[in-house]
């Protein structure tokens, strides 16, 4: 928000309010940022899929353990107050450090 003196204010404006060169530069910057974000997500998904395929081929995924955890989640016995406290402690440690 721009303040022009004591009694006058002008609200924020969207990209449509910009004129000429400023509008073109803003639009180009927004489009570039969106393309970069999509590219990063694509790269992340590709890495994740490659990691799963690699783990499956080398036998690193313990499907018996995965199925046991899924069953515990489904019957409500997986989430405990102790696990929640531990997760919150770890989150707070990451945020503070």
- The model's pLDDT over 15-71, given as tens digits with 9 standing for 90+, comes to 555 556 565 666 666 666 666 677 777 777 777 777 777 776 777 788 899 899 999
Alpha-carbon distance of 49 to 43, in angstroms, equals: 10
> Can you read off the two tokens belonging to residue 28?
């180009």
- What pLDDT, on the 0 to 100 scale, is given for residue 88? 95
Residue 11 predicted with pLDDT over 60: no
- What pLDDT, on the 0 to 100 scale, is given for residue 40? 79
> Can you read off the two tokens belonging to residue 26?
């803003």
> Can you read off the two tokens belonging to residue 87?
């997760």
Cα–Cα distance list, 26 to 20, 30, 33 (Å):
10, 6, 11
């Amino acid at each position: 928000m721009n303040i022009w003196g004591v009694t006058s204010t002008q609200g924020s404006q969207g990209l449509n309010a910009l004129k000429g060169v400023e509008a073109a530069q803003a639009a180009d910057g927004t489009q570039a940022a969106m393309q970069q974000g999509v590219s990063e997500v694509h790269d992340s998904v590709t890495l994740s899929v490659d990691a799963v395929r690699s783990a499956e081929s080398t036998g690193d995924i313990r499907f018996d353990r995965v199925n046991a955890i899924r069953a515990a989640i489904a019957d409500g016995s997986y989430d405990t107050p102790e696990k929640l406290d531990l997760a919150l402690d770890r989150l707070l440690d990451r945020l503070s450090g």
